[in-house]
Amino acid sequence: MKLHYQESGEGIPLIIIHGLFGSADNWRSMAKYFSRFYRVVSVDLRNHGRSPHSDEQNFTIMAGDIHQLCEDLGLDQVNILGHSLGGKVAMKFAAMYPDMVAKLVVVDIAPRQYFSAHTPLMDAMLALNLSQFTRRTEVDDALAESVPDKAVRQFLLMNLVSERENFQWRINLPALKANYPELMAAISEDKTFSMPSLFVYGELSDYVTEQDRQQISRQFTEAKFSGIEKAGHWVQAERPQQFKKVVEEFLQND
């Protein structure tokens, strides 16, 4: 599958992969910053953003999509950065194509299996009859009944688009829900990796525990860790300056 992507800057390629329900648009400010040093390629995963929809979705397929993009762009070796679901895709890409990865940055996710946390969000979005609404505020109000957290709603509503005066979800919600168990699966638990790796996590997040860090150290023998104070799961949005600093230092240092 040919993924939609946004590209800026020159130099060593840096591929950025968003998380579940996200898109390259979420990373524009970070991409702009890192494009001062790198050729930044921000992707939309399949069933997200402006990329094509598909009934199939798992980590092997998504890593293959990234590989096809690298081939299309003539990229032989890349730095790769992924947040949450994108972090797992980045780890799977490193497992499948280790010689292509110069440095790996994984943001607030571990390679282990996770359990259902997003199904209620997908159910809430699917339950809305979007043809009833004429304003985004009306959709927000309706979604608030099931998703009271305003920040989460604002993030989800970034996927709401208007076409021919009708609202629709840009992400492929039915496929994401059908393949959700695949998206929670563990990544290459029987393999070890020697490429330089940085695992960034929010100290207020429960996605990466001390036990996870021990497992990561066993799998990724060159792993370094950076806990960001006062940050939850969306580390890059909640503490952007600290995030830029730790990632830049890791990528710039030999």
Check which CATH number belongs to the domain holding 47 and give it.
Answer: 3.40.50.1820
pLDDT at 144: 95
In whole angstroms, what is the distance from residue 17 CA to residue 127 CA?
Answer: 28
| 101 and 24 in a common domain | yes
pLDDT at 163: 81
Which residues, in sequence order, are bridge partners of residue 83? Answer: 107
In whole angstroms, what is the distance from residue 111 CA to residue 152 CA?
Answer: 24
In whole angstroms, what is the distance from residue 173 CA to residue 21 CA?
Answer: 9
Q: Provide CB contacts within 8 A for 154, sequence distance 6+.
A: none
| 159 and 197 in a common domain | no
| 49 and 22 in a common domain | yes
pLDDT at 146: 94
| 101 and 40 in a common domain | yes
DSSP state, residue 193 = B
| 124 and 201 in a common domain | no
The packing angle between helices 85-96 and 59-73, to 10°, is 70
Entry pTM = 0.96
Please identify which of the residues 23, 35, 84, 197 carries the catalytic annotation. 84
Domain that holds residue 164: 119-178
| 45 and 171 in a common domain | no
Longest Cα pair distance anywhere in the chain, in angstroms?
Answer: 56
| 209 and 167 in a common domain | no
233 is catalytic: yes
pLDDT at 239: 97
| 169 and 202 in a common domain | no
Please identify which of the residues 18, 48, 83, 233 carries the catalytic annotation. 233
| 195 and 105 in a common domain | yes
| 100 and 17 in a common domain | yes
Tens digit of pLDDT per residue, the chain (254 long)?
A: 999 999 999 999 999 999 999 999 999 999 999 999 999 999 999 999 999 999 999 999 999 999 999 999 999 999 999 999 999 999 999 999 999 999 999 999 999 999 878 999 999 999 999 999 999 999 999 999 999 999 999 999 999 999 877 899 999 999 999 999 999 999 987 889 999 999 999 999 999 999 999 999 999 999 999 999 999 999 999 999 999 999 999 999 97
Domain count of the fold of the chain = 2
84 is catalytic: yes
Which residues, in sequence order, are bridge partners of residue 226? Answer: 200
| 105 and 12 in a common domain | yes
Boundary residue ending a domain (178, 205, 224)? 178
Which residues, in sequence order, are bridge partners of residue 202? Answer: 228
DSSP state, residue 27 = G
pLDDT at 136: 94
| 212 and 110 in a common domain | yes
